[in-house]
A and B are shown apart, each in its own frame.
Chain A
């Protein structure tokens, strides 16, 4: 009988779920990539349904880890053993896949990160600031505008050797620039290639900011699917980028490993409430705690009239 650790990464663009074999840290039994479409709960329900349909049972789950922008919400609802930020999750996954990795470039839907590692330990990291110009969402939008399916975006970029120069500093300017270049007669391919280069420049200016990029460099996150970006990075940096086999679910893989660590550390059974929990209807409500002058704003989750989770308090008394 196989047992598993579940890793869930609920991001702005995709919700990823992996099942990690409890005996083998290298073996992913399942890796799901589901579009979030603005509804993290819905997408997770869909994911859990797929797992159930494939015959996985909640009893075989030894631990659950959650990461991504909706991690706190989802973590409380499904009962996670580890709720961790994306940087730690991605770093752990990268070390798992390539123990000798020195740089991780991760570009996701709404944020992009760079993680610097030495001898399997994170020594520095950076995240994009407020602007989304260097992220997947930007590419998504532009692909939509150019009427190219996002999956083919990268191929378009490869079909030209002469990308046009597009201002990458800001999404709004980039768009103005694109329209202008189109009017001047640039082809779709040239524009797409130009966009890829703009995104890479933006990433290097805003995220990497002069950090020393040493090989091996791992490129992960949904955008790693895009060959155009990979080429643009390699051209700009002069190094080879390695794309791990599970590049788009690395965050989920990392959180599965973190869940395993958490379980080993505490030596307690998992808090997981089972795949079935998502089939029920969850009602979310914001309430104010009036027990002291802090007046914390709490998030309350009710299922069939019963409160199943409550958090957001500073003193911690509702989180038990």
Chain B
């Protein structure tokens, strides 16, 4: 359970509002990266108590991330700063989603080594114990506020009746251009996703080119953290998109996996659209 209100525990507790410790701060901040599969929470914690920090190092207590939406989910952290991956199927982010860190005892904790307590408690510290699973502290609360979609102008279409093939994919400096021999092929007026197959083909073409351009000599793989950020144009957009979606490496072998990671169900949306049209054909 997340602690939203103060209450009197039968032992000292480390929070941002209690005076049980002489000095007591327990804050955390998060950054979030997401792709079609999971959320990646990057967590940074500020904790003033060296007593608790020592217990964490000794693994006598654990730091737990609690994500409360419809129900509570618990994710132990490996340290004050950690990255937690949560599949999108496991949590939903909405206005009611609330997060908090808590410190929980993994075994009975004695307070005799705790010199940070306030005057009242310090006189009893040798005799004070917190049982296993007891909460030793809780942090500030972080609530989900809003999400903004940023789209990328990656694709252009053109009609060219003189095309030698039915369609043609070309990479320009800013975009992936799909040429159609006639405008019927563009399905104007039908739901967008019906063009997703072309988008997929275009994306694959552009990513292949990305690998060819950015792989080190003798290497078949591009490590996105190692290369210089492309300066402008199409490759900059692709680079940003991949970085934002948590892609670390790309090669000829994982192109489809990368497309899946950086996009939102291109083929599923195509399938639903076609099925929908089939269902409403009258």
Q: Do A and B come from one complex?
A: no
Q: Measuring CB to CB, which residues of chain A are less than 8 angstroms from any residue of chain B?
A: none
